[in-house]
């Protein structure tokens, strides 16, 4: 890097001593300071504090002495109902990710292979646009569609006037539907980035060798799109596991997930140490997922290259 060559002499001790100019590392540090200082105060120190809190006996209020304990990390053993909630959250996360992957992969495939130029650009922006609008408002929109006597019901009754209601607001499928709606654009984008680089010649070669569309799909397209699918799956699964507003609004009484349990500890039950311990357990699960799949991703990259 030629840029470094210009900077480096000044960084040497002689350069710093040579004149009134500040040493180069000082300027670099000053440029980096605002960003990393801010992240330290707003993200990293809070996470460390919460880790400390997770070992406390109770929320430190007033003059009560602080006692350190591991009991909140044993909550899954002492409060067995949490295991059921954790399982439900994982199931919701799994279904959301699975549906996003299937719907998103084919949407990305259609986008990459059946559209060109302007139309493709416009479609991509249209697909990504909802992602940058308020998630809360989009979840709220679904209540308009799914409630009893809502849009879906009205449509259904226009076809079959005598039929009962098919509105399924306040059920688990409603939560999954809302979450899929929220994260599908992400999956389409990551799959599209992987698929758009595939050379037409590869598919033509497969066709000319007699491969049917099913073979091309499973032996060529899916393996080549796997990094995009994996990235999309992680980007979907992680926030879904931590969601609490979607289950509350779309799930009503059945919408109890790890996210809502953690939120309760901070806003209702005022048991911050338990909330912190559950958060860090969740974070550990997420990191384990990252670690597992980063290995898979690297192997894929190696295999393709």
Partner 1 sequence: MKALARFYLLAILVFLYLPIMVMMAMGFNDSALYELPFRFTTRWYVALSGNDQLISAGINSIVIALITAVLATLAGTMAAVALDRRAVRGRTLLQLLLLPPIAIPWLITGTAMLVFFFWTGIGRGMHALLIGHVALAIPYVVLVVGTGLRTIRSDLEEAAISLGSTPLHAFFAVTLPLLTPSILGAALFAFAVSLDQFVISYFLSTPGFATLPVQIYSAIRKGFTPEINAISTILLVGSMSVIVVFAIFARPGGARDKR
Q: Which residues between 61 and 100 bind partner 1 (CB under 8 A)?
A: none
Contact 96, 180 (CB under 8 A): yes
Q: Distance (Å, rounded) from C-alpha 243 to C-alpha 282? A: 12
Q: Which of 9, 22, 26, 32 forms a contact with partner 1 (CB under 8 A)?
A: 32
Does 130 bind partner 1 (CB under 8 A)? Our answer is yes
Angle at 144 between CA 139 and CA 147, to 5 degrees: 105
Q: Toward partner 1, which CB reaches closer, 22 or 202?
A: 22
Q: How far is the CB of 97 from partner 1 (least distance, A)?
A: 14
Q: Toward partner 1, which CB reaches closer, 42 or 160?
A: 42
Does 263 bind partner 1 (CB under 8 A)? Our answer is yes
- Residue matched to tokens 């609004």: 249
Q: Which of 24, 69, 207, 271 forms a contact with partner 1 (CB under 8 A)?
A: 24
Does 293 bind partner 1 (CB under 8 A)? Our answer is no
Does 2 bind partner 1 (CB under 8 A)? Our answer is yes
Q: What pairs with residue 68 in β-bridges?
A: 56
Q: How far is the CB of 46 from partner 1 (least distance, A)?
A: 4
CA neighbours closer than 13 Å in the CB half-sphere of residue 58: 6
Assign 169 to helix, strand or coil: coil
| Residue numbers 139-178 binding partner 1 by CB under 8 A | 140-145, 147, 149-151, 154
Q: Toward partner 1, which CB reaches closer, 137 or 303?
A: 137
CA neighbours closer than 13 Å in the CB half-sphere of residue 287: 6
Does 41 bind partner 1 (CB under 8 A)? Our answer is yes
Does 53 bind partner 1 (CB under 8 A)? Our answer is yes
Q: Distance (Å, rounded) from C-alpha 93 to C-alpha 183? A: 11
Q: Which of 9, 22, 26, 43 forms a contact with partner 1 (CB under 8 A)?
A: 43
Q: Distance (Å, rounded) from C-alpha 245 to C-alpha 112? A: 34
Cα of 40 vs its chain's centroid, Å: 22
Total residues in contact with partner 1, by rule CB under 8 A: 88
Q: Distance (Å, rounded) from C-alpha 227 to C-alpha 193? A: 10
Q: Toward partner 1, which CB reaches closer, 80 or 125?
A: 125
Stretch that binds partner 1, among 75-83, 193-201, 216-224, 264-272 (CB under 8 A): 264-272
Stretch that binds partner 1, among 198-206, 220-228, 258-266, 296-304 (CB under 8 A): 258-266
Q: Distance (Å, rounded) from C-alpha 52 to C-alpha 298? A: 34
Q: Which of 82, 103, 220, 222 forms a contact with partner 1 (CB under 8 A)?
A: 103
| Residue numbers 171-200 binding partner 1 by CB under 8 A | 181, 184-185, 188
Helix/strand number for the chain, H first, E second: 16, 0
Q: Which of 16, 198, 211, 286 forms a contact with partner 1 (CB under 8 A)?
A: 286
Q: Which residues contact 188 (CB under 8 A, 6 or more apart)?
A: 104, 107, 108, 111, 127, 128
Comparing CA positions, the residue from 180, 191, 181, 151 lying closest to residue 168 is 151
Q: Toward partner 1, which CB reaches closer, 36 or 94?
A: 36
């Amino acid at each position: 890097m030629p840029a470094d060559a210009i900077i480096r002499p000044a960084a040497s001790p002689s350069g710093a001593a040579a004149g009134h100019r500040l040493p180069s590392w000082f300027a670099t540090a000053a440029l980096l300071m605002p960003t990393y200082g801010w992240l330290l105060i707003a993200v990293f120190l809070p996470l460390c504090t919460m880790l400390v809190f997770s070992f406390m006996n109770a929320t430190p209020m007033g003059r009560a002495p602080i006692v350190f304990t591991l009991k909140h990390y044993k909550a899954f053993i002492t409060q067995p109902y949490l295991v059921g909630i954790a399982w439900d959250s994982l199931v919701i996360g799994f279904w959301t990710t699975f549906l996003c992957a299937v719907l998103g992969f084919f949407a990305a495939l259609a986008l990459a292979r059946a559209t060109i130029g302007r139309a493709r650009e416009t479609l991509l922006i249209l697909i990504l646009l909802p992602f940058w609008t308020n998630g809360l408002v989009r979840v709220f929109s679904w209540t308009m569609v799914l409630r009893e006597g809502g849009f879906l019901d009205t449509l259904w009754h226009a076809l079959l006037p005598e039929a009962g209601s098919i509105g399924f607001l306040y059920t688990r499928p409603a939560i999954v539907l809302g979450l899929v709606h929220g994260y599908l654009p992400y999956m389409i984008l990551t799959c599209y980035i992987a698929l758009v680089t595939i050379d037409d010649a590869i598919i033509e070669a497969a066709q000319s060798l007699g491969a049917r569309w099913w073979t091309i799909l499973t032996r060529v397209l899916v393996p080549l799109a796997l990094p995009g699918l994996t990235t999309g799956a992680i980007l979907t699964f992680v926030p879904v596991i931590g969601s609490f507003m979607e289950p509350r609004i779309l799930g009503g009484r059945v919408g109890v997930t790890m996210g809502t349990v953690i939120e309760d500890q901070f806003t209702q039950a005022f048991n911050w140490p338990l909330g912190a311990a559950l958060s860090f357990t969740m974070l550990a699960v997420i990191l384990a997922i990252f670690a597992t799949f980063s290995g898979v991703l690297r192997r894929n990259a190696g295999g393709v290259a």
